Amino acid sequence: MPNAVHSSADFVPILITLFLSVAVVALVLVLTHLLGPRRKTVVKDANFECGIPSEGDARAPFSVKYFLVAILFVIFDVELVFMYPWAVSFRELGWFGIIEMGVFLVFVLVGFRYIIRRGALKWE
């Protein structure tokens, strides 16, 4: 793997992109606050879902399993995002990159097997 020396000039495009992204978000937030509607009425503040008036308490308890499945989905989805940079540059990484990805996948699969054996994905 070649040693690359980076100067601070290499990071200027990244910093410009970061600055522009933050500036656009701030501008949109300020504009929506300044130009948005300000009149609040009882009808506008009422809960409304898909054309059906709401019934009951909005604070009904959800099963913990629902949140557990959602969290596990996010965790495994984020782990699989790490495979994209590897797939883009795996030719330059050679056997070291293949072995490294193999170790990563073993860890992911061991974690997945653990949550299946613990019954975390069983919906009862």
**pLDDT reading at 48 higher than 70:** no
pLDDT average, residue stretch 29-44: 85
Per DSSP, helices labelled H in the chain are 12-35, 42-45, 64-81, 83-117
Per the model's pLDDT, the better-predicted residue between 80 and 20 turns out to be 20
Asked whether 73 and 66 are in contact (CB, 8 A), the reply is no
**pLDDT reading at 1 higher than 60:** no
**What was the pLDDT predicted at 58?**
66
CATH 3.40.50 fits 8-117, yes or no: no
Question: Mean of the per-residue pLDDT values for the chain?
Answer: 83
Q: Residue 8 — very low, low, confident or very high, per pLDDT cuts 50/70/90?
A: confident
- Token pair for residue 39? 């009149």
pTM: 0.45
Asked whether 36 and 88 are in contact (CB, 8 A), the reply is no
Q: At CB < 8 A and 24+ separation, what contacts does 89-94 make?
A: 92/1, 93/1
